[in-house]
Amino acid sequence: MAERISGKSFNRRFNDIVYGMDTDIGRPRLLALGEPAHGDDTLLKMRNELFRRRVEEEDYRTIALETDCLRGLIVDDYVALGTGTLDEAMEHGFSHGWGEFAGNRELVRWMRAHNDARPAAERLRFAGFDGPLEITHAASPRHAMTALHDYLSARVDPALLPCTTETLDALLGTDDRWTNPAAMRAPDQSVGRSADASQLRLIVEDLVALLDTHAPHLAPARESWHQARLYARTATGLLSYHYWMADTSPARMTRLVGQRDRMMAANLLALANRTPTLANAHNAHLQHNRSTMHMDGTPVQWWSAGALVSTHLGPDYAFFSTQD
C-alpha cells in the first residue's frame, strides 16, 4: 500500500491521516514513511508525531532511519541503555551530517525518555538501515569484518576460521585506500577489484558460512548474534559496493545504486523479522516502483529497498510518501 501525504497540509490533515492509517492498514510488520528531501522541519515533526503514536498505540518496537547502520549502534546504545549523552549520540551516531537536524535530535531525545523505567524487553530500539556510504565515498570494510572475525574467534574453534587476525589486518590495509573520494568518479582509483579485495570477499563468505552453520550455538545470545549478522551483511555489502566502484562498464552507476538499496533492504528485513518496525527515508528508497535519477545527464533506474522488501513481506509492508 502507498499513499501520498503533503507536508503543506500538515496542520489540516495530519490527524485524519494518522487515524486513517490505523483503519486502512492495521499493523504491518514494516511501516515506512518517505520524504521528498532530507531535513524539512515540518515533515520531521510530522514523522515524529506519527511514530510516537504508532509506538504508544500499536507497540512498534524499532525506529529505523536512513543513516549508517554501524553508527546507528551508538544511538541505539543511548536510547536503550543510556550509554553516553544525547550530544554524543547525535554527533557520532548519524551519517551524512543528519545528526544536526533538530527533528532527529528530538526523536532520539523522546526515545530515550520513553525507555526510562521500562524493562529491557519493552524498550524502543533505534537502527540505521543504510550502509556505511557517504556521498563522496564508501567506508572501509575494516570495522564490519574485524568485528565479525572477533565475534567468531571468541565462540567457535579457531581452526575453522579462514584466516588469522593478522592476515585480515594486512589484507584490509589502511582505510584511506578504501575511502579515496576519487574512486567515486574514477573506477581505476578504486581498490575494489584488487587482489586483496578479492581475497577479502572469499574470507567474508567463509565467515558468514561459519555464522550460519553455528547458528544453533550462537543464536541463544540474541543481541550479540543479531549484531554479528549485521556485521556480516555490512562487510559483504561493502565489498560488493567497492567491487562495482571499480567497474568500467556503462552499468557501473546502476549497479552501485542498486547495491546500496539491496543493503538497505537486507537491514530492513532483518529488523522487521525481530520486531514491528517504523522506517523513514527518502521516497526513492522506500517506494514500490522503480526509482530513477540522473547522473551526469544519464538516467539511472533501479529497484528501491521498498520494492525489494515488499516482494518478501507483501501486505506486511506499507509505504506512505510525503510530498513538498
By DSSP bridging, strand 30-35 and strand 317-323 are parallel
As a whole number of angstroms, the distance between CA 147 and CA 161 comes to 14
pLDDT digits (tens, 9 = 90+) for 158-177: 999 999 999 999 999 999 99
pLDDT band at 294 (very low <50, low <70, confident <90, very high): confident
Q: Tell me the pLDDT tens digit for each residue of 233-274.
A: 999 999 999 999 999 999 999 999 999 999 999 999 999 999
Nearest one of 300, 223, 280 to 40, comparing CA atoms: 280
What's the CA gap between 90 and 88, in Å, rounded?
Answer: 5
What is the reported pTM?
Answer: 0.93
CA 147 to chain CA centroid, Å, is: 17
Among 286, 221, 242, which Cα is nearest to 144's? 242
Instruction: State which fold the 2-135+262-323 domain adopts.
Output: Rossmann fold (3.40.50)
Using a 10 angstrom Cβ sphere, with 0-12 exposed, 13-18 middle and 19 or more buried, the burial of residue 27 is middle
User: Residue 318 forms beta bridges with which residues?
Assistant: 31
Digit-coded pLDDT (tens) for 11-68: 444 554 544 454 466 799 999 999 999 989 999 999 999 999 999 999 999 999 999 9
Which ranges of the chain does DSSP label H, i.e. alpha helix? 10-25, 41-58, 72-81, 86-92, 102-115, 142-153, 165-172, 195-213, 215-218, 222-245, 252-274, 283-286, 305-313
Q: Which residue type sits at 287?
A: Q
User: If we measure between CA atoms, which residue out of 191, 237, 224, 231 comes closest to residue 207?
Assistant: 231
Please state the domain extents for the chain. 2-135+262-323, 142-258
The rounded mean pLDDT for the chain is 92
Backbone angles phi, psi at 154, to 5 degrees: -85, -5
CA atoms within 13 A on the CB side of 320: 23
